[in-house]
Amino acid sequence: MDSVIVLAWLSVVVTILSRSHADRNVYPSAGVLFVHVLEREYFKGEFPPYPKPGDASNDPITFNTNLMGYPDRPGWLRYIQRTPHSDGVLYGSPPWEHVGKPTVIEITAYNRRTFETARHNLIINIMAIEDFPLQYQAEFFIKNMNVEEMLASEVLGDFLGAVKNVWQPERLNAVNITSALDRGGRVPLPINNLKEGVYVMVGADVQFSSCLREVETPQNQLRCSQEMEPIISCDKKFQAQFHIDWCKISLVDNKKVATVPQDKPYLGPGVLADIGEYDPPSESLKSRDYFADFLITLAVPSAVALVLFIILGYSMCCRREGVEKRNMQTPDIQLVHHSAIQKSTKELRSMSKNREISWPLSTLPVFHPVSGEVVPPIHPDSYETTSMPLMQTQTNLQNQMQIPQQQPPGKWYS
């Protein structure tokens, strides 16, 4: 019994591993929109069920996609998944260069509840088609759609049907779909159910219709420059489901685009032009004498400095007049006048040093502060009036006079 259980368990494990590593082949066409949905239901069976039987499994599942052997996807392939409870979508436009070269994409599913993983490979075999690329391509900007909404087969089919009614081509294919965020657009505010917007490029084999050409008229170009909606006759065929910004429509005729020769690669911005092979200088270079340059570098500033020094020395030393020469050239009456003014100034300065003023009586003490005796007035001649304070303190009084000390009776001190 135990061996049967072990064998059954091993068979389940092998089944899970084989399913998780199963390869799926897809065959998109070059230059035509490729969409592959990563369905959560496909991976739910590869994860352990819920503990209670009968419970609905709604595990959060996220996907990681990368080119086998590389950390990221090819440049033409994009991936989007809004929430862990929604399906993931791989989409893009396969290039012509990858025709006949299988592209292996590793898809890893993560169960956010059980932390289990499951993996399988998606092999993209790009097929060649006739008339690649289609000559006439038009790119529309749809304002009321997100990229995952536009990738739905029903919505994309409705849009291609509306374009076909307007364009009337024999062949019409969706070439590429790009989110407005990938073109530098801003994330909309989460109000009024605003959308990011999506660019949809379609290709056809006939000339653009007159309705699509209406956006190129001068009147509509003027309205677009003033941020006004242009007047398009066929806009009503899209308004029911798709709000198209006609000012952002792009019409491209591939045959009018200048083709670049295959033998010479195109140099984009920032690439220097080819000027031939590098020719290094020869090894036998002639030595250069820098003595003349050295002399010129030093001689010219030195000569200028020497000339300035001579001129300055002559002006300060040889052109000096002196006091005697100045007095000889000055009239006598002016010298006498100047001498009289100088003597008067010196006399006034000497008199200011010997100023004597009498002390105000209100500032002098009348009685001795200790003995109570009458203090004789202080003669101003004995003090420097210019340095004496206006109000005398106790210390100044003690310095001016000696206070007689009380003597014990019966004794005499000299």
Residue scoring higher pLDDT (234 or 261):
234
Rounded to the nearest 5 percent, the helix, strand and coil shares of the chain are: 35, 20, 50
Full set of structural domains in the chain with CATH:
18-124 (2.60.40.10), 136-253 (no CATH)
Rounded distance between C-alpha atoms, residue 132 and residue 99, angstroms: 12
Residue 313 has pLDDT above 50, yes or no: yes
Q: What are phi and psi of 262, to 5 degrees?
A: -70, -30
Q: Which residues pair with 119 in a beta bridge?
A: 108
- Given pLDDT bands bounded at 50, 70 and 90, which one contains residue 58? confident
* pTM as predicted: 0.56
Does the pLDDT at position 14 exceed 50?
no
Could you tell me the CA-to-CA distances from 320 to 116, 216, 312, 313, 327 in Å, in that order? Answer: 104, 89, 12, 11, 14
The full length of the chain comes to 414
- 3-37 burial, b at 16+ Cβ within 10 Å, e below that, comes to eeeeeeeeeeeeebeeebeeeeeeebbbbbbbbbe
108 in Cβ contact with 118 (< 8 Å): yes
3-state secondary structure 48-114: CCCCCCCCCCCCCEEEEEEECCCCCCCCCEEEECCCCCCCEEEEECCCHHHCCCCEEEEEEEEECCC
The most confident of the ranges 100-114, 350-364, 373-387 is 100-114
Does residue 324 come out as left (phi exceeding 0), alpha (psi in the -120 to 50 range) or beta? alpha
| DSSP 8-state symbol, 331 | -
Residue 4 confidence class, pLDDT cut points 50, 70, 90 = very low
User: What's residue 385's pLDDT?
Assistant: 46
pLDDT of amino acid 357: 55
Asked if residue 243 has pLDDT above 70, the reply is: yes
CA-wise closest residue to 194 among 232, 243, 227: 243
Residue bearing the bigger pLDDT, 227 or 239: 227
Q: DSSP secondary-structure letter at 181?
A: G
Amino acid of residue 89:
V
Which of the 8 DSSP states describes residue 226? T
DSSP letter for 215, please.
Answer: G
- The whole-angstrom separation of Cα 353 and Cα 236 is 111
- Taking only the tens place, the pLDDT of each residue in 384-413 is 444 445 454 444 545 544 545 545 555 444
pLDDT at position 311, please? Answer: 92
pLDDT at 68 over 70: yes
Please state which of the ranges 95-109, 118-132, 354-368, 374-388 shows the lowest mean pLDDT: 374-388
CA–CA separation, 389 vs 4, rounded Å? 125
How far is 63 from 108, CA to CA, in rounded Å?
A: 6
Average pLDDT, the chain: 78
Average pLDDT over residues 294-321: 88
Q: Highest mean pLDDT range out of 148-162, 186-200, 270-284, 392-406?
A: 148-162
Q: Which of 139, 128, 39, 36 is nearest to 91 (CA)?
A: 36
- 232/406: higher pLDDT: 232
What digits encode the pLDDT tens for the residues 154-170?
Answer: 999 999 999 999 998 88
